[in-house]
A and B are shown apart, each in its own frame.
Chain A
Amino acid sequence: MFFLFFIGTNHHIYANTEKLQDNITIDQLQEISPFQEKPEPQNTPTPLVESKVTIDKSLKKSDTLMLSISNNLIYFGDLTPTNPLIRTHTISVINLLSPMYNLFISENHPLINANGSFIPNTTCDNGACTEYTAGIWDSTLTFGLGYRCENIDGYDCENGFYYDQTYKQIPDESKNKKSISLMEGLKENNPKSINMLYKLNTSASQQSGPYTNIVTYTLTPSF
Protein backbone atom coordinates (compact mmCIF):
# COMPACT_ATOMS: atom_id res chain seq x y z
CA MET A 1 0.00 0.00 0.00
CA PHE A 2 2.88 2.30 0.83
CA PHE A 3 4.37 1.49 -2.57
CA LEU A 4 1.07 2.36 -4.28
CA PHE A 5 0.88 5.62 -2.34
CA PHE A 6 4.45 6.50 -3.27
CA ILE A 7 3.84 5.97 -6.99
CA GLY A 8 0.45 7.65 -6.92
CA THR A 9 1.71 10.86 -5.36
CA ASN A 10 4.98 11.07 -7.24
CA HIS A 11 3.51 12.72 -10.34
CA HIS A 12 4.36 16.11 -11.65
CA ILE A 13 1.37 18.25 -10.92
CA TYR A 14 -0.10 19.58 -14.20
CA ALA A 15 2.41 17.56 -16.15
CA ASN A 16 1.28 18.75 -19.55
CA THR A 17 -0.04 22.25 -19.27
CA GLU A 18 -0.57 24.09 -22.53
CA LYS A 19 -1.23 27.77 -22.87
CA LEU A 20 -4.79 28.62 -23.84
CA GLN A 21 -5.02 30.41 -27.14
CA ASP A 22 -6.93 33.67 -27.03
CA ASN A 23 -8.13 35.83 -29.82
CA ILE A 24 -6.47 39.05 -30.73
CA THR A 25 -7.20 41.67 -33.34
CA ILE A 26 -5.53 41.79 -36.70
CA ASP A 27 -3.53 44.89 -35.69
CA GLN A 28 -1.25 42.57 -33.76
CA LEU A 29 -0.66 40.42 -36.78
CA GLN A 30 1.93 42.87 -38.04
CA GLU A 31 3.96 42.42 -34.87
CA ILE A 32 4.07 38.66 -34.98
CA SER A 33 4.32 38.05 -38.69
CA PRO A 34 7.24 35.76 -39.50
CA PHE A 35 8.21 37.78 -42.53
CA GLN A 36 8.06 41.19 -40.91
CA GLU A 37 11.58 42.42 -40.27
CA LYS A 38 10.82 46.11 -39.91
CA PRO A 39 7.63 48.16 -40.09
CA GLU A 40 6.48 48.93 -43.60
CA PRO A 41 3.68 51.39 -43.13
CA GLN A 42 3.07 51.80 -46.84
CA ASN A 43 2.26 48.07 -47.09
CA THR A 44 0.28 47.81 -43.90
CA PRO A 45 -3.37 47.56 -44.83
CA THR A 46 -5.85 49.46 -42.72
CA PRO A 47 -8.24 46.98 -41.16
CA LEU A 48 -11.80 47.89 -42.00
CA VAL A 49 -13.49 45.71 -39.38
CA GLU A 50 -10.92 44.85 -36.74
CA SER A 51 -13.07 42.70 -34.52
CA LYS A 52 -14.10 40.43 -37.33
CA VAL A 53 -10.77 38.71 -37.81
CA THR A 54 -9.19 36.43 -35.28
CA ILE A 55 -5.84 34.75 -35.25
CA ASP A 56 -4.15 32.76 -32.56
CA LYS A 57 -2.24 34.58 -29.85
CA SER A 58 0.22 31.73 -29.66
CA LEU A 59 1.67 32.63 -33.07
CA LYS A 60 5.29 33.73 -32.86
CA LYS A 61 7.55 35.66 -35.12
CA SER A 62 9.53 32.62 -36.15
CA ASP A 63 6.46 30.60 -37.09
CA THR A 64 5.70 29.94 -40.70
CA LEU A 65 4.41 27.59 -43.38
CA MET A 66 6.78 26.77 -46.19
CA LEU A 67 7.09 24.46 -49.21
CA SER A 68 10.45 23.82 -50.90
CA ILE A 69 10.98 21.71 -54.02
CA SER A 70 14.46 21.00 -55.33
CA ASN A 71 13.57 21.02 -59.03
CA ASN A 72 10.85 22.61 -61.09
CA LEU A 73 11.61 20.56 -64.18
CA ILE A 74 12.10 16.80 -64.27
CA TYR A 75 13.88 15.67 -67.42
CA PHE A 76 13.68 12.08 -68.63
CA GLY A 77 15.82 12.47 -71.74
CA ASP A 78 15.33 10.07 -74.64
CA LEU A 79 12.87 7.29 -73.96
CA THR A 80 14.08 3.75 -74.64
CA PRO A 81 11.41 1.02 -74.73
CA THR A 82 11.40 -1.38 -71.75
CA ASN A 83 14.16 0.65 -70.11
CA PRO A 84 12.57 2.18 -66.97
CA LEU A 85 13.78 5.68 -66.13
CA ILE A 86 13.72 6.93 -62.56
CA ARG A 87 14.06 10.58 -61.67
CA THR A 88 13.96 12.08 -58.18
CA HIS A 89 13.66 15.38 -56.42
CA THR A 90 13.30 16.36 -52.79
CA ILE A 91 10.41 18.17 -51.17
CA SER A 92 10.61 19.87 -47.77
CA VAL A 93 7.71 21.15 -45.70
CA ILE A 94 7.73 23.38 -42.64
CA ASN A 95 4.55 23.61 -40.61
CA LEU A 96 5.08 25.29 -37.26
CA LEU A 97 1.61 26.61 -36.61
CA SER A 98 -1.32 24.44 -37.58
CA PRO A 99 -2.04 21.17 -35.77
CA MET A 100 -1.67 19.31 -39.04
CA TYR A 101 -0.79 19.76 -42.70
CA ASN A 102 -1.23 17.94 -46.01
CA LEU A 103 0.75 18.09 -49.21
CA PHE A 104 -1.45 17.24 -52.18
CA ILE A 105 -0.34 16.08 -55.62
CA SER A 106 -2.07 16.12 -59.01
CA GLU A 107 -1.23 16.34 -62.72
CA ASN A 108 -3.01 18.42 -65.34
CA HIS A 109 -3.06 15.45 -67.76
CA PRO A 110 -0.94 12.38 -68.58
CA LEU A 111 2.38 12.89 -70.37
CA ILE A 112 1.36 14.00 -73.88
CA ASN A 113 3.36 14.69 -77.01
CA ALA A 114 2.66 17.21 -79.78
CA ASN A 115 0.57 14.66 -81.72
CA GLY A 116 -1.73 14.01 -78.80
CA SER A 117 -0.26 10.59 -78.08
CA PHE A 118 0.08 10.02 -74.36
CA ILE A 119 1.85 7.80 -71.85
CA PRO A 120 -0.78 6.50 -69.42
CA ASN A 121 -0.32 6.29 -65.68
CA THR A 122 0.97 2.90 -64.61
CA THR A 123 -1.29 0.23 -63.18
CA CYS A 124 1.75 -1.62 -61.73
CA ASP A 125 2.65 -5.28 -62.20
CA ASN A 126 -0.68 -6.63 -60.99
CA GLY A 127 -2.70 -4.03 -62.90
CA ALA A 128 -4.35 -2.81 -59.71
CA CYS A 129 -2.49 0.26 -58.45
CA THR A 130 -4.39 3.55 -58.53
CA GLU A 131 -4.08 7.05 -57.03
CA TYR A 132 -5.16 5.60 -53.69
CA THR A 133 -3.64 2.12 -53.75
CA ALA A 134 0.05 1.42 -54.21
CA GLY A 135 1.30 -1.63 -56.05
CA ILE A 136 4.57 -3.37 -56.85
CA TRP A 137 6.13 -2.24 -60.11
CA ASP A 138 9.22 -4.28 -60.84
CA SER A 139 8.65 -5.69 -64.32
CA THR A 140 10.26 -3.97 -67.28
CA LEU A 141 7.21 -5.01 -69.29
CA THR A 142 4.91 -2.84 -67.17
CA PHE A 143 4.54 0.58 -68.75
CA GLY A 144 3.46 4.08 -67.80
CA LEU A 145 4.29 6.78 -65.27
CA GLY A 146 4.14 6.30 -61.50
CA TYR A 147 5.57 7.81 -58.33
CA ARG A 148 6.69 6.73 -54.90
CA CYS A 149 7.33 8.72 -51.74
CA GLU A 150 10.37 7.98 -49.54
CA ASN A 151 10.87 9.63 -46.16
CA ILE A 152 14.07 11.55 -45.55
CA ASP A 153 13.28 13.63 -42.44
CA GLY A 154 10.18 12.45 -40.57
CA TYR A 155 7.64 9.81 -41.44
CA ASP A 156 5.05 11.85 -43.27
CA CYS A 157 4.74 9.94 -46.56
CA GLU A 158 1.25 8.56 -46.88
CA ASN A 159 0.80 4.83 -46.44
CA GLY A 160 1.52 2.39 -49.23
CA PHE A 161 5.21 2.92 -49.85
CA TYR A 162 6.59 0.64 -47.14
CA TYR A 163 7.92 -1.93 -49.61
CA ASP A 164 10.49 -1.06 -52.25
CA GLN A 165 9.21 -0.88 -55.80
CA THR A 166 5.70 0.18 -54.72
CA TYR A 167 4.23 2.97 -56.79
CA LYS A 168 1.00 4.94 -57.17
CA GLN A 169 -0.62 6.88 -59.97
CA ILE A 170 -0.67 10.67 -59.99
CA PRO A 171 -4.31 11.88 -59.96
CA ASP A 172 -5.23 13.13 -63.41
CA GLU A 173 -7.24 16.37 -63.32
CA SER A 174 -8.27 15.94 -66.96
CA LYS A 175 -10.22 12.87 -65.84
CA ASN A 176 -11.82 14.81 -62.99
CA LYS A 177 -9.58 13.08 -60.45
CA LYS A 178 -9.07 15.12 -57.28
CA SER A 179 -5.62 15.81 -55.91
CA ILE A 180 -4.70 13.39 -53.14
CA SER A 181 -2.52 13.66 -50.09
CA LEU A 182 1.11 12.74 -50.62
CA MET A 183 2.30 13.78 -47.16
CA GLU A 184 0.43 14.26 -43.91
CA GLY A 185 1.95 15.37 -40.64
CA LEU A 186 1.67 17.19 -37.37
CA LYS A 187 2.92 20.56 -36.26
CA GLU A 188 6.62 20.22 -35.57
CA ASN A 189 9.70 22.36 -35.14
CA ASN A 190 11.77 20.51 -37.71
CA PRO A 191 11.28 20.46 -41.48
CA LYS A 192 9.89 17.26 -42.99
CA SER A 193 11.55 16.06 -46.17
CA ILE A 194 10.78 13.36 -48.70
CA ASN A 195 12.38 11.98 -51.78
CA MET A 196 9.94 11.93 -54.67
CA LEU A 197 10.61 9.24 -57.28
CA TYR A 198 9.05 9.30 -60.74
CA LYS A 199 9.29 6.11 -62.75
CA LEU A 200 8.65 6.10 -66.49
CA ASN A 201 8.68 3.08 -68.78
CA THR A 202 7.44 2.87 -72.35
CA SER A 203 6.70 0.09 -74.80
CA ALA A 204 8.20 -0.33 -78.27
CA SER A 205 4.93 0.83 -79.81
CA GLN A 206 5.03 4.18 -77.95
CA GLN A 207 5.32 7.16 -80.31
CA SER A 208 8.51 9.15 -79.99
CA GLY A 209 8.51 12.18 -77.71
CA PRO A 210 8.93 14.58 -76.27
CA TYR A 211 6.09 14.20 -73.78
CA THR A 212 5.22 16.76 -71.14
CA ASN A 213 2.75 17.51 -68.36
CA ILE A 214 2.49 19.56 -65.16
CA VAL A 215 2.56 18.09 -61.66
CA THR A 216 1.34 20.41 -58.89
CA TYR A 217 2.11 20.09 -55.19
CA THR A 218 -0.19 22.01 -52.86
CA LEU A 219 0.69 22.53 -49.22
CA THR A 220 -2.23 23.32 -46.97
CA PRO A 221 -2.47 23.53 -43.19
CA SER A 222 -5.48 22.23 -41.29
CA PHE A 223 -8.00 24.87 -40.23
Chain B
Amino acid sequence: MTFLNWRTIEYDELDMQKILSVSFLILISLWSSSQKTFAEQISIGAYPPRIIFDASPSDELSAPLEVQNFSEVPVTLSVSFQQFRQSESENGTINFIENTEEFRSFLKNIELTDQGVSVQRLLLAPKQKKSLNLQISIDSNPQPKDYNFSIVFTTSEQLPVTDDIKNTRIHVYGSVAVPVLLTIGNQHTQEITIEKFSTFPFVQNGPVPFILKVHNASAQRAAVTGTLNITNMFGQKIGKIVLPKTYILGESSRYILNAVSSEYTDYIRKIAQSSSNKTSLINNIIWGEKVLLGPYAATISLSVNDSATLFTRTIYFFALPYSIIIGLILGIVFFLFLRKRVKRYLEKN
Protein backbone atom coordinates (compact mmCIF):
# COMPACT_ATOMS: atom_id res chain seq x y z
CA MET B 1 0.00 0.00 0.00
CA THR B 2 2.84 2.25 0.95
CA PHE B 3 4.61 1.28 -2.25
CA LEU B 4 1.52 2.08 -4.26
CA ASN B 5 1.21 5.42 -2.56
CA TRP B 6 4.84 6.16 -3.27
CA ARG B 7 4.34 5.22 -6.94
CA THR B 8 1.29 7.42 -7.08
CA ILE B 9 3.15 10.29 -5.54
CA GLU B 10 6.07 9.77 -7.89
CA TYR B 11 3.73 9.66 -10.87
CA ASP B 12 1.93 12.80 -9.70
CA GLU B 13 5.21 14.61 -9.18
CA LEU B 14 6.44 13.65 -12.64
CA ASP B 15 3.13 14.74 -14.10
CA MET B 16 3.30 18.00 -12.19
CA GLN B 17 6.86 18.53 -13.38
CA LYS B 18 5.70 18.05 -16.97
CA ILE B 19 2.80 20.43 -16.48
CA LEU B 20 5.08 23.02 -14.90
CA SER B 21 7.66 22.64 -17.65
CA VAL B 22 5.06 22.97 -20.40
CA SER B 23 3.45 25.95 -18.63
CA PHE B 24 6.85 27.57 -18.24
CA LEU B 25 7.60 27.09 -21.94
CA ILE B 26 4.20 28.50 -22.91
CA LEU B 27 4.74 31.50 -20.66
CA ILE B 28 8.21 32.08 -22.08
CA SER B 29 6.90 31.85 -25.66
CA LEU B 30 4.00 34.19 -24.86
CA TRP B 31 6.36 36.63 -23.19
CA SER B 32 8.84 36.57 -26.03
CA SER B 33 6.11 36.96 -28.65
CA SER B 34 4.78 40.01 -26.82
CA GLN B 35 8.17 41.72 -27.01
CA LYS B 36 8.57 44.23 -29.83
CA THR B 37 11.08 42.98 -32.31
CA PHE B 38 12.66 45.07 -34.99
CA ALA B 39 14.09 42.56 -37.39
CA GLU B 40 13.40 44.98 -40.22
CA GLN B 41 15.08 45.60 -43.54
CA ILE B 42 15.82 49.16 -42.48
CA SER B 43 16.23 49.98 -38.81
CA ILE B 44 18.40 52.93 -37.91
CA GLY B 45 18.69 55.29 -34.95
CA ALA B 46 20.54 58.44 -33.96
CA TYR B 47 21.46 60.15 -30.73
CA PRO B 48 21.21 62.82 -29.33
CA PRO B 49 17.85 64.06 -30.63
CA ARG B 50 19.13 67.62 -30.93
CA ILE B 51 22.36 69.59 -30.56
CA ILE B 52 22.41 73.16 -29.33
CA PHE B 53 25.43 75.40 -29.97
CA ASP B 54 25.96 78.88 -28.56
CA ALA B 55 29.09 80.12 -30.30
CA SER B 56 31.42 83.10 -30.18
CA PRO B 57 33.89 84.29 -32.84
CA SER B 58 36.80 81.91 -33.52
CA ASP B 59 35.20 79.07 -31.59
CA GLU B 60 35.97 75.50 -32.52
CA LEU B 61 32.77 73.69 -31.65
CA SER B 62 32.48 69.98 -31.17
CA ALA B 63 29.71 67.59 -30.19
CA PRO B 64 29.57 63.81 -30.19
CA LEU B 65 26.74 61.94 -31.85
CA GLU B 66 26.01 58.34 -32.60
CA VAL B 67 24.20 56.36 -35.25
CA GLN B 68 23.25 52.72 -35.02
CA ASN B 69 22.10 50.05 -37.42
CA PHE B 70 19.52 48.05 -35.46
CA SER B 71 18.79 45.64 -38.33
CA GLU B 72 20.24 42.23 -39.07
CA VAL B 73 21.70 43.35 -42.40
CA PRO B 74 24.55 45.76 -43.14
CA VAL B 75 23.59 49.26 -44.19
CA THR B 76 25.34 52.13 -45.92
CA LEU B 77 24.41 55.60 -44.73
CA SER B 78 25.07 58.81 -46.61
CA VAL B 79 25.49 62.02 -44.61
CA SER B 80 24.01 65.36 -45.61
CA PHE B 81 23.24 68.69 -43.99
CA GLN B 82 19.79 70.15 -44.61
CA GLN B 83 18.45 73.49 -43.44
CA PHE B 84 15.04 73.67 -41.83
CA ARG B 85 12.56 76.15 -40.47
CA GLN B 86 9.85 75.67 -37.90
CA SER B 87 6.68 74.19 -39.40
CA GLU B 88 3.38 76.06 -39.60
CA SER B 89 2.24 74.07 -36.57
CA GLU B 90 4.55 76.31 -34.50
CA ASN B 91 5.32 73.59 -31.99
CA GLY B 92 8.97 72.92 -32.74
CA THR B 93 8.33 70.44 -35.53
CA ILE B 94 10.31 71.24 -38.64
CA ASN B 95 10.02 71.57 -42.39
CA PHE B 96 13.11 71.06 -44.50
CA ILE B 97 13.97 73.87 -46.88
CA GLU B 98 16.43 74.14 -49.73
CA ASN B 99 19.87 75.10 -48.47
CA THR B 100 20.53 78.80 -49.00
CA GLU B 101 23.60 80.06 -50.82
CA GLU B 102 24.91 81.45 -47.54
CA PHE B 103 24.50 78.12 -45.75
CA ARG B 104 26.15 76.27 -48.64
CA SER B 105 29.21 78.47 -48.25
CA PHE B 106 29.09 77.99 -44.46
CA LEU B 107 29.10 74.21 -44.95
CA LYS B 108 32.86 74.34 -45.50
CA ASN B 109 33.10 75.04 -41.75
CA ILE B 110 31.05 71.95 -40.81
CA GLU B 111 32.53 68.50 -40.66
CA LEU B 112 31.37 65.13 -39.41
CA THR B 113 34.32 63.02 -38.38
CA ASP B 114 34.95 59.41 -37.44
CA GLN B 115 38.07 59.28 -35.24
CA GLY B 116 39.33 62.48 -36.83
CA VAL B 117 38.57 61.49 -40.42
CA SER B 118 35.87 63.38 -42.30
CA VAL B 119 33.00 61.13 -43.42
CA GLN B 120 30.27 61.46 -46.04
CA ARG B 121 29.28 57.79 -46.09
CA LEU B 122 29.20 55.16 -43.37
CA LEU B 123 29.04 51.39 -43.63
CA LEU B 124 27.45 49.86 -40.56
CA ALA B 125 27.44 46.13 -39.88
CA PRO B 126 24.33 44.52 -38.36
CA LYS B 127 23.66 45.99 -34.90
CA GLN B 128 26.75 48.21 -35.18
CA LYS B 129 26.80 51.65 -33.66
CA LYS B 130 29.18 54.36 -34.75
CA SER B 131 30.40 57.23 -32.61
CA LEU B 132 30.97 60.38 -34.62
CA ASN B 133 31.94 63.93 -33.93
CA LEU B 134 30.35 67.07 -35.33
CA GLN B 135 32.89 69.86 -35.66
CA ILE B 136 32.14 73.45 -36.60
CA SER B 137 34.68 76.25 -37.03
CA ILE B 138 33.44 79.77 -36.46
CA ASP B 139 35.09 82.62 -38.34
CA SER B 140 37.05 85.20 -36.39
CA ASN B 141 34.70 88.07 -37.23
CA PRO B 142 31.25 86.68 -37.99
CA GLN B 143 27.98 88.58 -38.03
CA PRO B 144 25.52 87.54 -35.32
CA LYS B 145 23.61 84.77 -37.06
CA ASP B 146 21.59 81.61 -36.44
CA TYR B 147 21.90 78.47 -38.54
CA ASN B 148 19.25 75.80 -38.09
CA PHE B 149 20.02 72.58 -39.90
CA SER B 150 19.79 68.83 -39.56
CA ILE B 151 22.42 66.16 -39.98
CA VAL B 152 20.61 63.59 -42.11
CA PHE B 153 21.70 59.95 -42.24
CA THR B 154 20.10 58.19 -45.23
CA THR B 155 20.25 54.54 -46.21
CA SER B 156 21.52 53.87 -49.71
CA GLU B 157 20.05 51.85 -52.50
CA GLN B 158 19.78 48.10 -52.09
CA LEU B 159 20.14 46.56 -55.53
CA PRO B 160 17.47 44.02 -56.42
CA VAL B 161 18.41 40.46 -57.26
CA THR B 162 18.75 39.80 -60.98
CA ASP B 163 15.36 38.16 -61.51
CA ASP B 164 13.58 41.13 -59.98
CA ILE B 165 15.12 43.76 -62.25
CA LYS B 166 12.26 43.04 -64.67
CA ASN B 167 9.79 44.00 -61.96
CA THR B 168 8.28 47.42 -61.56
CA ARG B 169 9.51 48.43 -58.11
CA ILE B 170 9.93 51.19 -55.56
CA HIS B 171 13.25 51.48 -53.76
CA VAL B 172 12.68 52.57 -50.16
CA TYR B 173 15.22 54.71 -48.31
CA GLY B 174 15.10 55.55 -44.62
CA SER B 175 16.59 58.64 -42.97
CA VAL B 176 17.00 59.89 -39.44
CA ALA B 177 17.76 63.56 -38.84
CA VAL B 178 19.41 65.23 -35.86
CA PRO B 179 18.46 68.93 -35.61
CA VAL B 180 21.27 71.37 -34.82
CA LEU B 181 20.56 74.87 -33.53
CA LEU B 182 23.65 77.03 -33.94
CA THR B 183 23.63 80.63 -32.81
CA ILE B 184 26.67 82.84 -33.34
CA GLY B 185 27.22 85.96 -31.26
CA ASN B 186 23.84 85.80 -29.55
CA GLN B 187 23.22 89.00 -27.57
CA HIS B 188 20.47 87.23 -25.58
CA THR B 189 18.16 90.20 -25.85
CA GLN B 190 14.89 89.46 -24.12
CA GLU B 191 12.32 90.43 -26.70
CA ILE B 192 9.85 87.82 -25.53
CA THR B 193 6.10 88.24 -25.28
CA ILE B 194 3.36 85.86 -24.23
CA GLU B 195 1.32 85.87 -27.42
CA LYS B 196 -1.44 83.61 -26.18
CA PHE B 197 -2.32 82.05 -22.86
CA SER B 198 -5.80 80.57 -22.62
CA THR B 199 -8.00 77.67 -21.63
CA PHE B 200 -11.71 76.85 -21.72
CA PRO B 201 -13.60 79.30 -19.44
CA PHE B 202 -15.88 76.44 -18.29
CA VAL B 203 -14.90 72.81 -17.86
CA GLN B 204 -16.83 69.86 -16.49
CA ASN B 205 -13.77 67.97 -15.27
CA GLY B 206 -10.12 67.46 -16.04
CA PRO B 207 -7.65 67.04 -17.65
CA VAL B 208 -7.56 70.73 -18.50
CA PRO B 209 -5.70 71.86 -21.64
CA PHE B 210 -3.94 75.24 -21.67
CA ILE B 211 -2.65 76.98 -24.76
CA LEU B 212 0.60 78.90 -24.30
CA LYS B 213 2.21 80.60 -27.29
CA VAL B 214 5.36 82.68 -26.87
CA HIS B 215 6.79 85.07 -29.44
CA ASN B 216 10.50 85.83 -29.83
CA ALA B 217 10.90 89.19 -31.58
CA SER B 218 14.70 89.15 -31.52
CA ALA B 219 16.63 87.96 -34.53
CA GLN B 220 18.23 85.08 -32.67
CA ARG B 221 17.17 82.03 -30.72
CA ALA B 222 15.85 82.28 -27.15
CA ALA B 223 15.38 79.60 -24.50
CA VAL B 224 12.30 79.71 -22.29
CA THR B 225 11.66 77.88 -19.04
CA GLY B 226 8.77 78.33 -16.65
CA THR B 227 6.03 76.99 -14.46
CA LEU B 228 2.26 76.94 -14.57
CA ASN B 229 0.65 77.17 -11.12
CA ILE B 230 -3.02 76.50 -10.52
CA THR B 231 -4.81 77.72 -7.39
CA ASN B 232 -8.34 76.93 -6.23
CA MET B 233 -10.99 79.24 -4.79
CA PHE B 234 -9.31 79.11 -1.37
CA GLY B 235 -5.99 80.32 -2.75
CA GLN B 236 -4.39 76.91 -2.28
CA LYS B 237 -1.82 75.90 -4.89
CA ILE B 238 -3.19 72.59 -6.15
CA GLY B 239 -1.26 72.11 -9.35
CA LYS B 240 2.22 72.90 -10.62
CA ILE B 241 3.48 72.07 -14.08
CA VAL B 242 7.16 72.68 -14.72
CA LEU B 243 7.63 73.40 -18.41
CA PRO B 244 10.65 71.91 -20.16
CA LYS B 245 13.30 74.24 -21.56
CA THR B 246 11.93 75.25 -24.94
CA TYR B 247 13.89 76.91 -27.75
CA ILE B 248 12.15 79.58 -29.81
CA LEU B 249 13.81 80.51 -33.09
CA GLY B 250 14.43 84.16 -33.91
CA GLU B 251 11.44 86.20 -35.11
CA SER B 252 9.02 83.35 -34.57
CA SER B 253 6.39 82.05 -32.18
CA ARG B 254 6.13 78.66 -30.57
CA TYR B 255 3.46 76.78 -28.65
CA ILE B 256 4.92 75.36 -25.47
CA LEU B 257 4.02 71.79 -24.54
CA ASN B 258 4.63 70.07 -21.25
CA ALA B 259 6.38 66.73 -21.03
CA VAL B 260 3.31 64.73 -21.93
CA SER B 261 2.93 61.36 -20.29
CA SER B 262 1.18 58.48 -22.00
CA GLU B 263 -1.92 59.17 -19.87
CA TYR B 264 -2.33 62.54 -21.56
CA THR B 265 -1.44 61.32 -25.03
CA ASP B 266 -4.34 58.89 -24.68
CA TYR B 267 -6.52 61.86 -23.76
CA ILE B 268 -5.28 63.84 -26.77
CA ARG B 269 -5.74 60.84 -29.05
CA LYS B 270 -9.34 60.41 -27.98
CA ILE B 271 -10.16 64.01 -28.85
CA ALA B 272 -8.01 63.95 -31.98
CA GLN B 273 -9.98 61.03 -33.39
CA SER B 274 -13.08 63.20 -33.60
CA SER B 275 -11.31 66.35 -34.71
CA SER B 276 -10.07 67.42 -38.08
CA ASN B 277 -7.39 69.62 -36.53
CA LYS B 278 -5.12 67.25 -34.65
CA THR B 279 -2.23 69.70 -34.45
CA SER B 280 -4.17 72.32 -32.52
CA LEU B 281 -5.00 69.65 -29.94
CA ILE B 282 -1.40 68.61 -29.59
CA ASN B 283 -0.23 72.18 -28.98
CA ASN B 284 -1.35 72.12 -25.37
CA ILE B 285 -0.09 72.06 -21.84
CA ILE B 286 -2.14 69.40 -20.11
CA TRP B 287 -3.01 69.63 -16.41
CA GLY B 288 -3.99 66.12 -15.45
CA GLU B 289 -6.25 66.79 -12.46
CA LYS B 290 -9.60 65.10 -13.07
CA VAL B 291 -11.92 66.07 -10.16
CA LEU B 292 -12.61 69.81 -10.31
CA LEU B 293 -15.21 72.15 -8.84
CA GLY B 294 -15.42 75.91 -8.59
CA PRO B 295 -13.26 78.79 -9.81
CA TYR B 296 -9.57 78.31 -10.50
CA ALA B 297 -6.71 80.64 -11.35
CA ALA B 298 -3.84 79.56 -13.61
CA THR B 299 -0.66 81.65 -13.51
CA ILE B 300 2.16 81.22 -16.00
CA SER B 301 5.67 82.42 -15.07
CA LEU B 302 8.33 82.37 -17.77
CA SER B 303 12.05 82.97 -17.58
CA VAL B 304 14.07 83.73 -20.72
CA ASN B 305 17.64 82.54 -21.29
CA ASP B 306 17.95 81.56 -17.60
CA SER B 307 17.58 85.17 -16.46
CA ALA B 308 15.83 86.15 -13.24
CA THR B 309 13.25 88.25 -15.07
CA LEU B 310 9.86 86.61 -15.08
CA PHE B 311 7.01 87.10 -17.49
CA THR B 312 3.75 86.28 -15.75
CA ARG B 313 0.11 86.19 -16.72
CA THR B 314 -2.99 84.84 -14.95
CA ILE B 315 -6.20 83.45 -16.39
CA TYR B 316 -9.30 82.05 -14.68
CA PHE B 317 -11.60 79.15 -15.40
CA PHE B 318 -14.60 77.59 -13.72
CA ALA B 319 -15.21 73.88 -13.23
CA LEU B 320 -18.71 72.49 -12.79
CA PRO B 321 -19.24 68.73 -13.08
CA TYR B 322 -22.91 69.24 -13.95
CA SER B 323 -23.53 65.60 -14.93
CA ILE B 324 -22.49 64.51 -11.41
CA ILE B 325 -24.57 67.27 -9.81
CA ILE B 326 -27.65 66.38 -11.89
CA GLY B 327 -27.11 62.74 -10.94
CA LEU B 328 -26.89 63.65 -7.25
CA ILE B 329 -30.04 65.78 -7.40
CA LEU B 330 -31.95 63.00 -9.17
CA GLY B 331 -30.65 60.53 -6.57
CA ILE B 332 -31.82 62.76 -3.70
CA VAL B 333 -35.24 63.27 -5.33
CA PHE B 334 -35.61 59.53 -5.84
CA PHE B 335 -34.56 58.87 -2.23
CA LEU B 336 -37.10 61.39 -0.89
CA PHE B 337 -39.83 59.94 -3.10
CA LEU B 338 -39.00 56.41 -1.93
CA ARG B 339 -38.94 57.48 1.72
CA LYS B 340 -42.33 59.14 1.36
CA ARG B 341 -43.82 56.04 -0.25
CA VAL B 342 -42.40 53.76 2.46
CA LYS B 343 -43.64 56.10 5.18
CA ARG B 344 -47.14 56.16 3.65
CA TYR B 345 -47.12 52.37 3.34
CA LEU B 346 -46.10 51.96 6.97
CA GLU B 347 -48.80 54.43 8.08
CA LYS B 348 -51.48 52.47 6.19
CA ASN B 349 -50.41 49.21 7.78
What is A's interface to B at a CB cutoff of 8 Å?
4-5, 7-21, 23, 26, 29-30, 33-36, 40, 42-49, 52-56, 58-59, 63-79, 89, 92, 94-95, 97-102, 104, 111, 154-155, 159, 178-179, 181, 184, 186-191, 198, 200, 209-223
Q: Is the CB of B293 within 8 A of A68?
A: no
Could you tell me the distance between the alpha carbons of A180 and B231 in the complex, rounded to whole angstroms? 42
Q: Is the CB of B291 within 8 A of A74?
A: no
Candidate in A5, A18, A75, A101 with the most chain B CB atoms within 10 angstroms = A18
Additional A-B contacts beyond A40-B131, A67-B43, A220-B179 (13; CB < 8 A): A5-B234, A26-B62, A53-B63, A55-B50, A65-B45, A75-B167, A92-B36, A100-B91, A181-B93, A200-B168, A218-B177, A222-B93, A223-B247
Q: Is the CB of B93 within 8 A of A55?
A: no
Chain B residues with CB under 8 Å of A63's CB are 47
One of B5-13, B23-31, B146-154, B331-339 contacting the partner: B146-154
Chain B residues with CB under 8 Å of A94's CB are 45
B172 contacts the other chain (Cβ, under 8 Å)?
Answer: yes
Q: Is the CB of B172 within 8 A of A73?
A: yes
Could you tell me the distance between the alpha carbons of A65 and B150 in the complex, rounded to whole angstroms? 14
Could you tell me the distance between the alpha carbons of A29 and B176 in the complex, rounded to whole angstroms? 19
Q: Is the CB of A18 within 8 A of B155?
A: no
Subset of 18 A-B contacts with CB under 8 Å: A7-B294, A9-B234, A9-B236, A15-B239, A15-B288, A17-B241, A33-B47, A35-B45, A53-B51, A66-B43, A71-B41, A73-B170, A92-B36, A218-B177, A219-B174, A222-B91, A222-B94, A223-B148
Q: Is the CB of A55 within 8 A of B48?
A: yes
Chain B residues with CB under 8 Å of A26's CB are 62-64
Could you tell me the distance between the alpha carbons of A78 and B95 in the complex, rounded to whole angstroms? 37
- Partner of B170 from the list A56, A189, A212 (CB cut-off 8 Å) is A212
- Partner of B175 from the list A159, A212, A217, A221 (CB cut-off 8 Å) is A217
Q: Is the CB of B157 within 8 A of A45?
A: no
CB of A80 to closest CB in B, whole Å: 11
Q: Is the CB of B272 within 8 A of A155?
A: yes
Q: Is the CB of A10 within 8 A of B291?
A: yes
Q: Is the CB of B40 within 8 A of A68?
A: yes
B141 contacts the other chain (Cβ, under 8 Å)?
Answer: no
Chain A residues with CB under 8 Å of B152's CB are 218
Candidate in B38, B60, B170 with the most chain A CB atoms within 10 angstroms = B170
